[in-house]
Amino acid sequence: MKKLLSSLCLLAGSMSVQATPVTGLINGGFEAPAYSARSYNIISEAQVPAWQTTASDGMIEIWANNFLGVKSFEGNQHAELNANEVAALYQTTSAVKKGAALDFKFAHRGRRGKDTVALTITDLGLDNLYGTKDDTSIFSKQYSTGNTEWEQYTNVGGIQFGP
């Protein structure tokens, strides 16, 4: 069973990810940890279940619903993609079997006009390490969204994992 890296390479904007249990992704709406204040929190990736960042400081920015007038796509909060620097948010999972058809669904909203996010899905290969020579990019695409509304992007059964 190979591990899969689902990387949301963050150029700008906010994100809410809706992942099915089949993929093993969790906390897609960034609802944990829960905050009651109508503001934002920049916290260590260790405090955000399942999510990691490539940011050098390891920080993730979580916004409360309606902070600065931005309603969350669903739920009570969402991630602002760039906390203190441009970085990626990602999860790894070993729940994807070879030959499986992968689906994804996520929502994106720009922060300052039209912003772009990239979704990359990578097979980490036998060594299970990102950035090594046995990695295989399975899917990569950029999505641009304005800052007036959330846009939901989906792909149902169109990504084949392995032969």
Nearest to 92 by CA among 62, 117, 122: 122
As a whole number of angstroms, the distance between CA 133 and CA 144 comes to 30
**Cut 0.85: pTM above it:** no
Between 50-54, 77-81, 116-120, 157-161, the lowest mean confidence (pLDDT) is in: 157-161
| Ordered DSSP codes for 73-105 | SSSSEEEES-SSSS-EEEEEES-PPTTPEEEEE
Highest mean pLDDT out of 51-60, 85-94, 97-106, 110-119: 51-60
Domain regions of the chain by residue span: 4-160
